[in-house]
Amino acid sequence: MTADTTEPELPAAGPADRRREQRGWYFYDFACSVYSTSVVTVFLGPYLTSVAETAADAEGFVHPLGIPVRAGSLFAYAVSASILLAVVVMPLVGAVADRTGRKKPLLAAAAYTGAAATGGMFFLSGDRYLLGTFLLIVANASLAVSMVLYNAYLPQIAEPDERDAVSSRGWAFGYTSGAFVLVLNLVLYSGHESFGLSEGDAVRICLASAGLWWGAFTVVPLRRLRDRHVAPQTEGAVGGGWRQLMATLRDMRRHPLTLSFLLAYLVYNDGVQTVISQASIYGSKELGLDQTTLITAVLLVQVLAVAGALGMGRLARSYGAKRTILASLAVWTLILGAGYFLPADAPVAFFCLAAAIGLVLGGSQALSRSLFSHLVPRGKEAEYFSAYEMSDRGLSWLGPLVFGLAYQLTGSYRDAIISLVIFFAAGFVLLARVPVRRAVAAAGNPVPDRI
């Protein structure tokens, strides 16, 4: 194993410096969450599916690289492909970031690659399903890589007893921006005729504007976050990064409790990410809901997710992050069971389901991130958060793949949605078995009074 040559990475020297970095850190959630909300959750799934249907043959199949793919499965497969690409890139980026100490340039490169790909979705029209698939893969993979670097700042800018609150505020900032931009999207989409636009033009503007928003607000964290000094290295960052990655994988075997948490998170988060990415297709294709209803439902999720993230952060202070996450997984299981039986053409019932999702979505994600930050050995933040991000996005390919295969084989999205219950049930069992206080101590970190 290579020696750990990084200097101890502590939060900023004083409370004022720490708060300044924290405020800058929140704004990356503010910047990139619009992509997750407007592009992945609302517009791109149904729109890319319609573009693929335009290009499909008489039997409803398109043929990328000569492979027959049902048009309705293309979006789910593209999400899986983007995640597999991220799996290849994220560990290398995390190792290089820790080795060089230069997280900000890497964060900028990933963020602006993703923003540019999202802006390019303006040109997705006609039968250009291959262009849409390519841009989705690039943007989604770039977001995953950028989140490795973004999350790795959390142990550096927040004291252990601050992290639940800081992480929750970051998610709240993200959901606030997502809600605000969705209101603008709803105005543009609903009134596209009065603006002299076709429905497709309005969708393409909404997609591209998410890229512009992502790029514009990324400036704030890049100005406020600071890179920490590391000891000089004797080998190149890229070549050394691969060797350090191998050492990191070996090192993680020395922290089996941290790995146990990652396994639990991998399983239940696969369900969360699949719900997020496939909800609009399920609502439009299976439940027969129009785009305005879907936008309104996702807007409801965004508004309530702010309250949910902050509220679950407060619950964690009283009951601990682990117990609060476990409670949220029980609620997720009930939500999916209700979703399976949700009647078609029933927007009010869909809104009730969206409200329940909003209340648990932000909190379960924010507390998972802050809990993991306690389990990371100091000086290995970016590397370990690359493994976390692989669980968050990089290994969350199984859910979309199963979802796409279920539709390909049965032609019914209901048959796919109920399968996601197993991810939350299994994740609950795995997380319940992790002794988090022992895991924190085993990682060499101070154990908070309540976790």
Q: What's the pLDDT band for 1 if we cut at 50, 70, 90? A: very low
Question: What is the reported pTM?
Answer: 0.73
For residue 242, pLDDT over 60 is answered with no
Nearest residue to 38 (alpha-carbon basis) of 206, 215, 169, 195 = 206
Using the 8-state DSSP alphabet, how is residue 283 labeled?
I
DSSP string, 351-401: HHHHHHHHHHHHHHHHHHHHHHHTTSPTT-HHHHHHHHHIIIIITTTHHHH
Helix axes 321-340, 291-319, angle to 10 degrees: 150
For residue 164, pLDDT over 50 is answered with yes
For residue 373, pLDDT over 80 is answered with yes
Q: What does the pLDDT read at residue 4?
A: 40
Q: What's the pLDDT band for 451 if we cut at 50, 70, 90? A: confident
Q: Which two tokens stand for residue 332?
A: 């997720």
The residue ranking higher by pLDDT, 4 or 63, is 63
Q: What is the mean pLDDT of residues 177-188?
A: 90
Using the 8-state DSSP alphabet, how is residue 40 labeled?
I
394 within 8 A of 90, measured Cβ to Cβ: yes
Q: Mean of the per-residue pLDDT values for the chain?
A: 83
Q: What's the pLDDT band for 151 if we cut at 50, 70, 90? A: confident
Q: Which amino acid is at 332?
A: W
Only one residue has tokens 């693929």, namely 52
pLDDT digits (tens, 9 = 90+) for 243-267: 655 666 677 788 889 889 988 988 8
**Bridge partners of residue 62, in order along the sequence:** 69
Residue 33 sits at the vertex; the CA angle it makes with 28 and 34, to the nearest 5 degrees, is 120
pLDDT digits (tens, 9 = 90+) for 276-291: 777 777 888 788 888 7
The residue ranking higher by pLDDT, 180 or 379, is 180
CA distance 365 to 169: 12
Nearest residue to 383 (alpha-carbon basis) of 233, 269, 234, 246 = 246
Q: Is the dihedral angle over the CA atoms 274, 275, 280, 281 positive or is it negative?
A: positive
Q: What is the mean pLDDT of residues 347-353?
A: 90
The residue ranking higher by pLDDT, 59 or 403, is 59
Nearest residue to 407 (alpha-carbon basis) of 392, 419, 423 = 419
Q: What's the pLDDT band for 8 if we cut at 50, 70, 90? A: very low
pLDDT digits (tens, 9 = 90+) for 408-441: 777 777 877 777 888 899 999 999 999 999 999 9
Q: Give whichever of 169-173, 329-333, 381-385 has the largest mean pLDDT.
A: 329-333
Q: How far is CA 23 from CA 8, 65, 238, 339, 355, in A?
A: 23, 45, 31, 37, 28
31 within 8 A of 176, measured Cβ to Cβ: no
Q: Which two tokens stand for residue 228?
A: 């920490």
For residue 304, pLDDT over 90 is answered with no
Instruction: Give the distance from CA 81 to its chain's centroid.
Output: 15
Q: How far is CA 271 from CA 163, 258, 340, 361, 418, in A?
A: 24, 21, 14, 11, 11
The residue ranking higher by pLDDT, 204 or 397, is 204
Q: How far is CA 122 from CA 27, 77, 78, 196, 240, in A?
A: 25, 21, 18, 17, 39
**Bridge partners of residue 70, in order along the sequence:** 61
Q: What does the pLDDT read at residue 249?
A: 65
Helix axes 256-281, 398-410, angle to 10 degrees: 40
Q: What is the mean pLDDT of residues 13-26?
A: 84
Residue 388 sits at the vertex; the CA angle it makes with 158 and 153, to the nearest 5 degrees, is 25
For residue 182, pLDDT over 80 is answered with yes
Helix (H) or strand (E) holding 69: strand 69-70
The residue ranking higher by pLDDT, 408 or 179, is 179
Q: What does the pLDDT read at residue 244?
A: 56
For residue 138, pLDDT over 70 is answered with yes
Q: Give whichever of 57-71, 208-222, 301-315, 358-372 has the largest mean pLDDT.
A: 208-222
Q: What is the mean pLDDT of residues 191-212?
A: 95
| Alpha helices, H only, 7-65 | 15-34, 44-55
Q: What does the pLDDT read at residue 419?
A: 78
pLDDT digits (tens, 9 = 90+) for 91-136: 788 778 877 778 899 999 999 999 999 999 999 988 899 999 999 9
For residue 7, pLDDT over 50 is answered with no
In this structure, are strands 69-70 and 61-62 parallel, antiparallel, or unpaired?
antiparallel
CA distance 31 to 178: 9
